[in-house]
């Protein structure tokens, strides 16, 4: 597969899909409290996407990467789960951190975004991990403009995350996105400046760093469901994700909404 460049019609489609994706996360936010199960969150997301947004939850039955069909509409990854946690009937408990990853298809276009949620009061370390991972994502986003290299994005994320004493997961990356859920290019969250492909106007891709408090290594989750991934040392892991468009002068984040967390002060305003 090759990189797809979006024209005006594609950009309009991606803007709508991106906004709907963010609005699902806004909608879910007040429900994410101690006692709710991830299956209940999944059902809320599914029904909102299908009944209110008249859209499609992309993960449901997704088989990308040669996996068996994904059985739910969102991914929910708790504590030491790194990504692709499958919702289940276990209630969230006070002190958990949970990533909710939503991908919506509207008129054939995909929006993909995830946020961290703190369940009740959480430890200082967990809160710091979530905050640093959010900033790490934005350190990557702020690099985006035509002519920079994909390695510049990865380097910015890795440099910041490691400066805070955390590690970057290597096995999963951001991705091109459009009519396809996972398109080229791969957007690594580590790397060296000036390496890899140059990015160009009209590209749309995700930036979605997974950052661990302990070591960078991961393994298959104990559920052996073919999806869930955990840290090898069982340390906490966090992730945030946005979908971005490369504009003539920089970027536009497509998965923002009214209740998105504020953009960090270190990110220069886009003109």
Residue owning tokens 């580590």: 190
Residue selected from 23, 112, 135, 152 as contacting Co ion according to rule CB under 5 A:
112
159 sits in which H/E element: helix 150-163
Q: Which residues sit opposite 211 in a β-bridge? A: 168, 238
Of 132, 97, 137, nearest to 117 (Cα)?
97
Site for Co ion in 58-77 (CB under 5 A): none
Q: Which is nearer to ligand MF3, 95 or 185 (CB)?
A: 185
Q: Which is nearer to Co ion, 158 or 255 (CB)?
A: 255
- To the nearest whole angstrom, how small is the minimum distance from the Cβ of residue 101 to Co ion? 4
- To the nearest whole angstrom, how small is the minimum distance from the Cβ of residue 182 to ligand MF3? 6
CA distance 4 to 183: 8
Sign of CA dihedral 92, 122, 30, 254: negative
Q: Which residues sit opposite 253 in a β-bridge? A: 244
Name the site residues for ligand MF3 (rule: CB under 6 A): 59, 62, 70, 75, 84, 101, 103, 112, 206, 208, 227, 241
- To the nearest whole angstrom, how small is the minimum distance from the Cβ of residue 56 to ligand MF3? 12
**Residues near 58 by Cβ (< 8 Å), separated by ≥ 6?**
103, 104, 105, 110, 112, 181
Residue owning tokens 């140059």: 198
- To the nearest whole angstrom, how small is the minimum distance from the Cβ of residue 123 to Co ion? 25
Q: Which is nearer to ligand MF3, 227 or 251 (CB)?
A: 227
Q: Which is nearer to Co ion, 101 or 135 (CB)?
A: 101
| Interacting partner of 70 out of ligand MF3, Co ion, none (Cβ under 5 to 8 A depending on kind) | ligand MF3
Q: Quick check: 152 binds Co ion (CB under 5 A)?
A: no
Of 151, 191, 141, nearest to 168 (Cα)?
191
CA distance 56 to 48: 10
Q: Quick check: 101 binds Co ion (CB under 5 A)?
A: yes
- To the nearest whole angstrom, how small is the minimum distance from the Cβ of residue 239 to Co ion? 8
Site for Co ion in 5-34 (CB under 5 A): none
- Read off the DSSP letter of residue 50: I
Query: By the 8 A CB rule, do 197 and 206 touch?
Result: no
- To the nearest whole angstrom, how small is the minimum distance from the Cβ of residue 196 to Co ion? 18
Residue selected from 206, 228, 231, 237 as contacting Co ion according to rule CB under 5 A:
206
CA distance 56 to 70: 14
Which of these ranges, 41-49, 145-153, 184-192, 239-247, lies near Co ion under the rule CB under 5 A?
Answer: 239-247
Contact residues: Co ion, CB under 5 A: 101, 112, 206, 241
């Amino acid at each position: 597969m090759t990189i797809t460049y979006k024209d005006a019609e594609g950009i309009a489609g991606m803007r709508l899909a991106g906004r709907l994706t963010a609005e699902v996360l806004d909608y879910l936010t007040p429900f994410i409290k101690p006692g709710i199960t991830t299956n209940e969150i999944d059902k809320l997301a599914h029904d909102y996407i299908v009944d209110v947004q008249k859209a499609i939850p992309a993960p449901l039955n997704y088989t990308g990467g040669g996996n068996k069909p994904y059985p739910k509409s969102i991914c929910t990854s708790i504590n030491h789960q790194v990504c692709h946690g499958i919702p289940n009937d276990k209630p969230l408990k006070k002190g958990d951190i949970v990533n909710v990853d939503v991908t919506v298809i509207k008129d054939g276009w995909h929006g993909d975004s995830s946020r961290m949620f703190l369940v009740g009061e959480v430890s200082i370390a967990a809160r710091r991990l979530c905050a640093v991972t959010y900033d790490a994502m934005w350190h990557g986003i702020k690099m985006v403009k035509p002519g920079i290299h994909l390695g510049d994005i990865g380097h910015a994320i890795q440099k910041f995350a490691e400066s805070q004493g955390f590690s970057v997961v290597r096995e999963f990356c951001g991705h091109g996105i459009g009519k396809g859920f996972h398109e080229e290019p791969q957007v690594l969250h580590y790397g060296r400046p000036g390496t890899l492909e140059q990015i160009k106007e009209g590209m749309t891709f995700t930036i979605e760093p997974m950052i661990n408090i302990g070591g960078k290594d991961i393994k298959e989750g104990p559920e052996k469901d073919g999806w869930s991934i955990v840290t090898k040392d069982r340390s906490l892991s966090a992730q945030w994700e946005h979908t971005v468009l490369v504009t003539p002068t920089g970027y536009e984040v497509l998965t923002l909404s009214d209740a998105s967390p504020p953009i960090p002060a270190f990110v220069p305003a886009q003109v």
